[in-house]
Structure 1
Amino acid sequence: MFKNKYQPGELVLVRNTKVEKELDHKAKPCYNGPYEAVQHTKGGSYVLEEMDGSVSRRGIAAFRLLPYFNRHSMPLLDELDDHDNDLDEPEDEPDHEHDNSDDEDND
């Protein structure tokens, strides 16, 4: 399901393995980034660039990378508001009150 090869220019997140051994790891970020993939090396790692333009000195192993999806680039559905008006009104449900007429007949 995960991509094995990232093209130069693609944005990725890097798994933060440093916090996995800490006691309060649940409160810390699991991934760092986004970073831009610069190069895929022969050994299979990736050279990454931070958003400020600084390039990593070491390669990052491919298994630590996840694709980054920018929330702002996702198209919103214009039809979403239109569908809200199409919803049916809830039908009146019959009252489920206890009918005491059976109790009166037994007296």
Structure 2
Amino acid sequence: ANTMSAKNHMRYMGPLIVLRRNHGGAYIVAELDGTVWHTPVGAFRIVPYMAREHLPLPNLEDFLDISTEELQRLERSPEAEEPDFDIESTD
């Protein structure tokens, strides 16, 4: 028997920065250190965050770990190509 309850499982990953929305409606996101996820995230998986104060963001070309051309290629992708995450184990 698994001693971990559902309370101990990670529910969210983030915070993340939404960069763009691709043609399939999924979001291209980056971590706060500029690392871009190479698989778009379905819009239904995004939990909005409303900042209490203005958060200045750096210039994207200097901040992100991919080129502008690669970001545009991700934007042209038709849909989210993400694997299903197993948030709660069936054990």
> What TM-score does the superposition give when structure 2 sets the normalisation length?
0.49
Which structure is larger by alpha-carbon Rg, 1 or 2?
A: 1
